Amino acid sequence: MKSFFLYLPLLLSHNAVIAAPSNPCSCDTEVIDLGFARHKVTLRSQTLNGHLVNVYKNIRFAEPARRFNRPTFPPIADDPGVVRTGNYTHDTQCVSAVPQGVEIIYPGVNGTVFGSEDCLFLDVYVPADLPCRVSQTSPNSKSAGVPVLHWLYGSAYAFGSKEFYFTPLGLFDQLLSQDSPFILVVSNYRMGVYGWASSPNEEQTEANIGLYDGLAALKWSEKYIHHFGGDPSRITAGGQSTGAAIVELLSASAEDRYLPFQQAFISSPALPLKWNTTQRRREVFDTVLDAANCSSLICLQSVSEEELREVNRYLLNDVPSLSGGGNFGPGIGFGPIVDGDFVPDLPVGIPTLSKSLGRLKAIISANMANEGAITSSGRGMPEGFPSLVRRILPSATDETIARIQALYQWPDAAPEQLAWQWTADAVFVCHSIAIAEALETSTRRYVMSIPPAYHGLDSLYYFYTDDQITPVQDIAIARSLQALLGEFLYGSEPVMINEGIEWPVYGAGSFLNITALGAKVEDLDGREAQRCAVINEIFADQKNGI
């Protein structure tokens, strides 16, 4: 993999942070009693237009993490005499190791390691006057609250945290200025060895731990967000890249599983689809054991936290990845697998996908126009294309690979575009389209094609604050996208874009193309639909993944 592009300005780069007064209005909002713990405002931030936002940091959403085990929800009860302010002596971010080749704009992060194993925390952002509004409207009703956006950050399954994404103050500024208050929840999940390594031979290792961390955090929002003035019946689970993949997998889970959210905002989901990973999964776990000088899970559980951090760093930085794009780590890389439980199948292989997604009221499915350019290596194309495909589809025949290659066209002078287009479709786009097709009457889709249209750049727009923190080509486009997100959170129908133009659902045969000249509704690209139909058919055939 060439690189994985991600913007990582620190979350606390707020426009202004001011001391939190004990009583912002007539309601008592100094301490929020969650039953299992009591929390006080950690800090109060001020937007450019003067709106105040209370931030409650480092609230536990599960018991302290147990290595290689799914989270335990709800959290254990705190000492009733303790009032938490979000301050801990240890790093509350999950363990991350940032590969050297990652292209980012925050200096000094490449090659670093940070975080700790005790990391199952979330932050809550609340308009300062919101508890008063809600209690004065209907003090005894959970449903009297405002919509909630629960955000899961992108990470390439390797690095990131609730601290590493754009400040939300610009989004609050836009929506509060149009009298559309909401609550934002941002939560951690485990990555690398801690979140995505498991062995089919070890009964005590559980698969997809990072996925279950995301689920536990969303359960927390559903159960406790009313204490902050949020409506648990209006939760939108949103995310970008890995975070979006977690939301997608939860949304596509078995239809009899309960979901703690009602809408999904899925932006560029990084989901390398892999079948029958038993052998390759075992190889990855054996590599983890070897790196730790262990021969069993019991040994791996006993190594010190510092030793396992170094193992994680080594596997993400020094061991070549053969994942095929979208994630880092040895072999097939660290990432989700079909576990027969919450992930019963790949999204493209579920005949009842529409029934699974039918539990949701609405979905936004989004991609960048050039997802693959910086998330894969284009060296050695087109001769190296069969090898690239077989990183994801190891049993693909020469005929199958020729069928895939025939789907693409590229300039003779730029053969790397073959790898970019395949990686974009295989890792980010085609399963996202499968989601849109399965719930076409309730899904809206956009593609951002503002140059360079790289993976993750739309985050600059919906979290736009100013040109220093979130540089964009057009502020008006950023504000329009934020307003669209606000309409989605509120469940507005129809969803309107500039000049009273309606954003139609995917089933109407249209999508929203966000260009440098603005957003416009366009007919679906028939070539993309045909290409993804072939690719999804190939992915759905299990014999290609053996």
> Quick one: pLDDT band at residue 232, thresholds 50, 70, 90?
very high
Between 304 and 545, name the one with better pLDDT: 304
E-assigned strand segments in 279-392: 362-368
- CATH number for the domain including 369? 3.40.50.1820
pLDDT attached to residue 374:
81
Tell me whether residue 329 is in a domain. yes
Tell me whether residue 397 is in a domain. yes
Tell me whether residue 59 is in a domain. yes
Residue 238 in tokens: 């949103």
Give percent of the chain above pLDDT 70. 89
Least trusted range by pLDDT, from 6-10, 86-90, 347-351, 373-377: 6-10
- Which pTM was predicted? 0.93
pLDDT attached to residue 409:
92
Domain containing 441: what range?
A: 17-545
Tell me whether residue 12 is in a domain. no
- pLDDT over threshold 50, residue 105: no
For 16-36, what is the mean pLDDT?
Answer: 60
> pLDDT digits over 486-538, tens only?
999 999 888 888 767 899 999 999 999 999 998 999 999 888 989 999 998 89
> Quick one: pLDDT band at residue 445, thresholds 50, 70, 90?
very high
Buried b (16+ CB within 10 A) or exposed e, 254-291: ebeeebbbbbbbbbbbbbbbbbbbeebbbebbebbbeb
> pLDDT digits over 406-439, tens only?
999 999 999 999 999 999 999 999 999 999 999 9
> Quick one: pLDDT band at residue 81, thresholds 50, 70, 90?
confident
Tell me whether residue 318 is in a domain. yes
pLDDT attached to residue 101:
67
- pLDDT over threshold 70, residue 235: yes
Q: Tell which residue, 125, 120, 91, has the closest CA to residue 20.
A: 125
Number of domains in the chain: 1
> Quick one: pLDDT band at residue 149, thresholds 50, 70, 90?
very high
- pLDDT over threshold 90, residue 355: no
Burial of 116 from C-beta contacts in 10 A (0-12 / 13-18 / 19+)? middle
Q: Tell which residue, 11, 263, 251, 262, has the closest CA to residue 153.
A: 11
> pLDDT digits over 185-228, tens only?
999 999 999 999 988 877 677 899 999 999 999 999 999 999 99
For 102-131, what is the mean pLDDT?
Answer: 83
Contact 199, 285 (CB under 8 A): yes
Q: Tell which residue, 466, 443, 480, 438, has the closest CA to residue 367.
A: 443
Task: Mark whether 241 is an active-site residue.
Answer: yes
> Quick one: pLDDT band at residue 230, thresholds 50, 70, 90?
very high
Tell me whether residue 58 is in a domain. yes
* Count of H-run helices and E-run strands, the chain: 16, 19
Give percent of the chain above pLDDT 90. 65
- pLDDT over threshold 90, residue 131: no
> Quick one: pLDDT band at residue 104, thresholds 50, 70, 90?
low
> pLDDT digits over 357-366, tens only?
999 999 999 9
Residue 396 in tokens: 């693909």
- pLDDT over threshold 50, residue 1: no
For 122-147, what is the mean pLDDT?
Answer: 74
Tell me whether residue 507 is in a domain. yes
> pLDDT digits over 392-402, tens only?
888 899 999 99
Strand 263-267, strand 230-240: pairing: parallel
Tell me whether residue 10 is in a domain. no
pLDDT attached to residue 273:
77
What average pLDDT does the structure give for the chain?
87
| Catalytic residue of the set 187, 241, 321, 377 | 241
Contact 495, 484 (CB under 8 A): yes
Between 196 and 340, name the one with better pLDDT: 196
Report CA-CA distances (Å) from 491 to 126, 265, 297, 477.
20, 12, 47, 21
